[in-house]
Chains A and B, each alone.
Chain A
Amino acid sequence: MATAADFLLRPRSWQRLFRVAAYATVAALAPSSYGPAARELAVRQVYLSAWKVLPGYLAFTALLSVVLIQIADGALRAYGLAPYSLELVLRVLVLELVPLLTVFFVAFRSGTAVAAEIAVMRVTGELDDTAESGSDELRGELVPRVAAIALSVFALTTLGGMLALAITYWSYFHTSRAGFFVFTRVVGTVFDDLVLVGLALKFVLFGAAVALIPIASGLEAERDRMKSVPAVVLAGLMKLVLAILLIEVVVLMVKYV
């Protein structure tokens, strides 16, 4: 019986992933993919992936922001580098940590669930072997989920980023409006062309990874073998984490190296 590590290292498994990704991208761009049933599935997926986790996610983001801002600002002040503190906090917190936090939130909450769901459908025969070659079942089941999870990542990252930005402003200037020009100037410095391109690229790649990898892994479950489900779910999660970290490193290299 194949273990999770086997799935992770098997070249065929990565080939399947890219095939599903290519198919899902084409299908997501076709208007015919969005029927009433697909829309309902997508709404339910967004509700589960984004709306239900929103309070906990925002609370955790706020806590992380407050703690990190205190640490960064205190350390930089101690070194006499206070003028760089705000810029550093914006770069580290809003640009890097909040998107990473979001994608892990969605990956662990929705990615595993979706992978298990697809794997069970595969075991019970609801999705047949022809699925990955582009059947209607696949289009009906996969495309709404991929789109919904990508949207969830985008929504959570945007809201979390704004909350972190607001907390940053409050930490430095409280409710004073006097800090607005200083803050705006630093925001203008931090969010230059390259950073905005990098941020957009990260949104797209994170959304795609979280949406596609669990589904493609789920499709690897073997028919009538229920025991293969945990292995493919775990392999999907491992692939996802690997992919997220690789994306983060590549985007950082594009921005700063």
Chain B
Amino acid sequence: MDPTPADTGGLAPRSMGVKVGILLAVTFMIAIAFIGYVLYARGAFETFQRLTLVADNVEGVTVGMDLTYAGFPIGRVRRLSLGKDGKARIHIRVPESEVRWLRTSTVFVMDVPLVGGAKLRAFTGNLQDPPLPDRAQRAILRGDANAEIPLMLATVRQALENVENMTARNSSLQQSIDNAKAVTGRMAGKYGVLGGVLGNEDNARKVIASIDRANALLANLGGVSLKLDAVVAKTDLRLYGASGIADETQKAVAQANTMLSEVRDRLNAVDVILADAQAVGASAKTAAANVAGASADLGALRGEVEASLRKVASLIEEINRKWPFERDAKIKLP
């Protein structure tokens, strides 16, 4: 059947052939380039090192999953298998270019979150350690959030039961709250916190009356202390003032000192006379003519001694009179 003009848009077969040729050529070129790109993306042009991770449970791990280091994919799960020892094995292919991140000290962790697939992570503490050999077999640690849930639920249930007991109608917490309510109700009354603490309004009223009385007492005490101040001031004046007791006593003591020194002088004179008298007594028999003159001297001396003693006695009396605290008016002779 010949092409109608409407079918071909009036184009000559040659230009149509060129367009179709271009279209098919471009299509095949793109298809081949895409296949090359996919092969490159799948690592067909790269050499790999194999790594086997051993786990108790590989639930959540799928073929094609990444092994990451610091968040960057460095390898891919190629196969999962169950070994004869009952442990699951994750076979991973790591491109040669990424092998440098894996060392003999590298730790592998499988993280199973609540939502989403598991994640395989590698942690290398020291990048200076010797590199991981090809076909190495390592254990993988599993951090499973799902496994924690039953345990957590049991704990939460117990905690909820405790809360329920605490909030029940007859629980001690409820009673405490009732008591607190009663106390705060009293606190809201006429006597405020005092009423709340003391139980009822009567007690509170008594306490307040006591405080009032104490205030009045304190005011009286203020007056008394003022009077006491005046008394003290007067005493001070009497004792230590210009012609007070202390002053007079000082004068009397000075006078007494003077008298005592006079008495000492007289006594010294008596000593001398007595010595003379001794000498005289020894030669009394021989010097009877001198007796009349000596006894006349003794009479005069005795009169002086007596006069001195009288002065002392009067002085001590005067002191006793001026010193009000010495009641017992005893006189001690020296």
Q: Do A and B form a real pair?
A: yes
Q: Is the CB of B42 within 8 A of A44?
A: no
Q: Is the CB of B73 within 8 A of A162?
A: no
Please judge, given known A-B contacts A46-B23, A51-B19, A154-B27, whether A192 and B7 are in contact too, CB under 8 Å: no
Using Cβ atoms and an 8 Å threshold, which residues of chain B touch A117?
A: 1
Using Cβ atoms and an 8 Å threshold, which residues of chain B touch A135?
A: none
Q: Is the CB of A44 within 8 A of B23?
A: no
Using Cβ atoms and an 8 Å threshold, which residues of chain B touch A254?
A: none
A-B Cβ contacts below 8 A, count: 72
Please judge, given known A-B contacts A187-B37, A191-B38, whether A155 and B43 are in contact too, CB under 8 Å: no
CA–CA, A255 and B20, complex, Å: 33
From B3, B38, B41, B76, A44 is in contact (CB under 8 Å) with: B3
Using Cβ atoms and an 8 Å threshold, which residues of chain A touch B40?
A: 184
A121 at the interface (CB under 8 A from B): yes
B13 at the interface (CB under 8 A from A): yes
CA–CA, A121 and B1, complex, Å: 9
| B19-41 contact mask (Cβ, 8 Å, vs A): 1 or 0 | 11001101100110010011011
Using Cβ atoms and an 8 Å threshold, which residues of chain A touch B38?
A: 187-188, 191, 196
Closest to B26 in A: A159
B16 at the interface (CB under 8 A from A): yes
CA–CA, A40 and B31, complex, Å: 25
| B42-77 contact mask (Cβ, 8 Å, vs A): 1 or 0 | 110000000000000000000010100000010010
Q: Is the CB of B1 within 8 A of A141?
A: yes
CA–CA, A8 and B1, complex, Å: 28
Using Cβ atoms and an 8 Å threshold, which residues of chain A touch B8?
A: 44, 47-48
B17 at the interface (CB under 8 A from A): yes
Q: Is the CB of B7 within 8 A of A44?
A: yes
Q: Is the CB of B73 within 8 A of A151?
A: no
A72 at the interface (CB under 8 A from B): no
Closest to B21 in A: A43
Please judge, given known A-B contacts A43-B16, A44-B8, A48-B7, whether A155 and B42 are in contact too, CB under 8 Å: no
Using Cβ atoms and an 8 Å threshold, which residues of chain A touch B116?
A: 81, 84
CA–CA, A159 and B23, complex, Å: 10
Using Cβ atoms and an 8 Å threshold, which residues of chain B touch A81?
A: 115-116
CA–CA, A173 and B316, complex, Å: 125
Q: Is the CB of A185 within 8 A of B64?
A: no
Closest to B9 in A: A52
Dominant SS among interface residues on chain B: helix
Q: Could you tell me which residues of chain A, from 1 to 60, have a CB within 8 Å of some CB in chain B? A: 40, 43-44, 46-48, 50-52, 54
Q: Is the CB of B64 within 8 A of A189?
A: yes
A171 at the interface (CB under 8 A from B): no
Q: Is the CB of A185 within 8 A of B30?
A: no
Q: Is the CB of A187 within 8 A of B41?
A: yes
A85 at the interface (CB under 8 A from B): no
From A50, A54, A84, A158, B30 is in contact (CB under 8 Å) with: A158
Q: Is the CB of A44 within 8 A of B16?
A: yes
Q: Is the CB of A158 within 8 A of B7?
A: no
| A190-206 contact mask (Cβ, 8 Å, vs B): 1 or 0 | 01100010000000000
Q: Is the CB of B1 within 8 A of A40?
A: no
From B1, B3, B11, B27, A158 is in contact (CB under 8 Å) with: B27
Using Cβ atoms and an 8 Å threshold, which residues of chain B touch A196?
A: 38
Using Cβ atoms and an 8 Å threshold, which residues of chain B touch A84?
A: 116
Q: Is the CB of A188 within 8 A of B41?
A: yes
CA–CA, A108 and B16, complex, Å: 22
CA–CA, A97 and B8, complex, Å: 30
Say how far A167's CB is from chain B's closest CB, in angstroms: 15
Q: Is the CB of A184 within 8 A of B7?
A: no
The interface centre, meaning the residue of A47, A50, A159 with most chain B CB atoms within 10 A of its CB, is: A47
Using Cβ atoms and an 8 Å threshold, which residues of chain B touch A159?
A: 26-27, 30
CA–CA, A52 and B64, complex, Å: 41
Say how far B57's CB is from chain A's closest CB, in angstroms: 23
CA–CA, A154 and B8, complex, Å: 21
CA–CA, A117 and B27, complex, Å: 28
Say how far B47's CB is from chain A's closest CB, in angstroms: 16
Using Cβ atoms and an 8 Å threshold, which residues of chain B touch A189?
A: 64, 76
CA–CA, A44 and B14, complex, Å: 10
CA–CA, A187 and B64, complex, Å: 11
Using Cβ atoms and an 8 Å threshold, which residues of chain B touch A126?
A: 1
The 7 closest A-B pairs by CB, nearest first: A188-B41, A155-B27, A187-B41, A188-B42, A184-B41, A191-B38, A46-B20
Apart from A52-B9, A121-B1: 9 A-B pairs, beta carbons within 8 A: A46-B23, A46-B24, A47-B16, A51-B19, A81-B116, A154-B27, A159-B30, A191-B38, A191-B41
18 examples of A-B residue contacts, CB within 8 angstroms: A43-B20, A48-B8, A50-B20, A51-B20, A51-B23, A54-B23, A154-B27, A159-B27, A159-B30, A161-B34, A184-B40, A185-B73, A188-B38, A188-B42, A189-B64, A189-B76, A191-B38, A191-B42
